[in-house]
Amino acid sequence: MAVRAVHRSIGRKVGVAFLSFGIALLSGLVPGSPSARASYYYPTYNGYGSYGYGGYGSQSPVISIDMDPRHQLDSAFRVAAREGRLEDMMALVREGADVDSISDEGNTALMYASRNCSLEVASELVRLKANANLRNKEGDTALIFASMESCLPVVKLLMRTPRLNLTARDRQGKTALDYAREGAVLEVDGPEARIAQILLSRVSRTWSAKGSPRPGSGRSAK
């Protein structure tokens, strides 16, 4: 009986040891493990962590098995843009990050900057020729995000980009102008009314140039 008890005790300890090792392996705590090499979904790339330069980044609880260095570089770049870390973002651009790379949801760095109303980051991305007309899986564009968030400075910035698609509709069937108008109803003296005015003016000029009726005018096309 004593021998059997000892065996059971050893068995439990071995089981706990294997369980602990498995957890450590999944957490990336074991050097050289696949998840440690692949890092996390928002990885530190050559020291560009999630909260600053030099490897001090926090790790997302979602583990990625994507070990492609290019994908890690692009992911780190988008996170830097999303978090407003301009110096890190530009350093990653110099290393070859794709300014138009997309996340699993189809979001680009410019979409993140527009959604967060980060004019400084958005300005640099526009200077780098980031495509403002790209759409994510929900149909959102950078302009739609800026309008949804009532971000007048970024809306003005995007309006200066060539061939901007002003009438793109998301999966809800709404345009940037629709969101601005909705916001203007709730905030009469807020930036939403100014955004709606700017967008409507540009859309009207565009439609007039094409011989189409102005949105909401009730006219028929010639």
Where b means 16+ CB within 10 Å and e means fewer, 144-156 reads bbbbbbbbbebbe
Instruction: Give the integer Cα–Cα distance in Å for 132 and 184.
Output: 24
Residue 40: per-residue pLDDT: 36
Q: Domain 134-216 class?
A: mainly alpha
What are the tens digits of pLDDT across the range 24-82?
444 443 333 333 333 333 444 454 444 333 333 333 433 445 678 999 999 999 999 99
In this structure, the strands spanning 52-53 and 48-49 are antiparallel
- Report which secondary-structure segment, H or E, holds 186: helix 176-186
Please state the pTM of the whole predicted model: 0.69
Residue 205: per-residue pLDDT: 78
Which backbone phi and psi does 48 adopt, to 5 degrees? -90, 95
Which stretches in the chain have pLDDT values below 50?
Answer: 1-7, 10, 13-14, 16-45, 47-64, 216-222
HSE, CB side, 13 Å, CA atoms: give it for residue 89.
25
